[in-house]
Amino acid sequence: MEQQTVVVTGAGSGLGAALVRKYSEKGAHVCLIGRTEDKLQTVAASLVGSWDCFEADISQVAQIRNVIQSILDRRGRIDVLINSAGVIALGAAQELMESSVHEMIDTNLKGTIFTSQAVLPHFKERNQGILVNIISTAGQEGKAGESVYCASKFGVRGFTESLQVELKDTDIRVMAAYMGGMNTEFWDGIFPAEKTARLMDPRDIADLLINNIESRPNLSVTSVTIKNHMGKK
C-alpha cells in the first residue's frame, strides 16, 4: 500500500476521517476532500504520512473535476477513490424542506456520480483502480423518517451496481459498502448521546473496509454489509 494515492471525500469527519488515518498509517498518500478547510486540516494534523487537502463541494461538477485534475497533476495517479461524503435530514416525507431534499440528492447521489465520473477516465486509461461507494443500509431498505435519504442511497446503489456491470471486463474494481449507524458527529442533534454511544466505532468500520478493499489475486469483494449489534449492556 506504500506510495498508493488514496482519495477520500467527506474526509473532514466520521468514517472519511477514520479511513484517511488508517490509510496514512499503512503508508499511503492520502488526499482529503471536504467542504470545510478547518476540519480537513484538523484531520491532516493527525496523520503520520504524506497528504493533500482539497476544499470542494462534490455536488459542483467544476469543483470536483478541478480537484481530481490537481491530484493527478501532483501525484500522477489515483489508486483508490472512496466516496464517503454524505448528509441527512430526518422527518416525515411530506414535512421535509425543499432545501433538505436538494442537499441530500445533490451531495449523496449527484456528488458520488460527479466524483466517480472525474476519476473513471484515469482508471480506464490505466485499466486499474478501486472505486468504493459508502452507501449505508439505507440503500438496502426503506426507513421511516428517512425517505429522501434512502432515495439518495438507493440511487447510489443503482449507480454502483451499474458501474460493476459496465466495468466487468476491466481490471477496475467497484465495491459497495453498506453499514448501519456509526458513532460520529453525523448524528449530532438527531440522536441522543446515549444512543449515539452505542453505535459502531468508525475506526472499526475503517479496518473492515480497508481489509476488503485490499487487492488480492483472483478475488474481488463487490459489496460488504456491516450492521450494528446492540446486544445487552
CA dihedral 4, 134, 176, 218 (to 10 degrees): 20
Asked if 213 and 80 count as a contact pair (C-beta separation under 8 A), the reply is yes
Concerning whether 149 is annotated as a catalytic residue, the answer is yes
Report CA Rg, the chain.
17
Q: Which residue has the cell 411530506?
A: 94
Asked if 136 and 112 count as a contact pair (C-beta separation under 8 A), the reply is no
Of the residues 54, 123, 149, 187, only one is catalytic, namely 149
Asked if 30 and 49 count as a contact pair (C-beta separation under 8 A), the reply is yes
Other Cβ atoms less than 10 A from the Cβ of 86: the count is: 25
Which sign does the torsion angle of CA 24, 172, 135, 140 carry? negative
Active site residues: 149
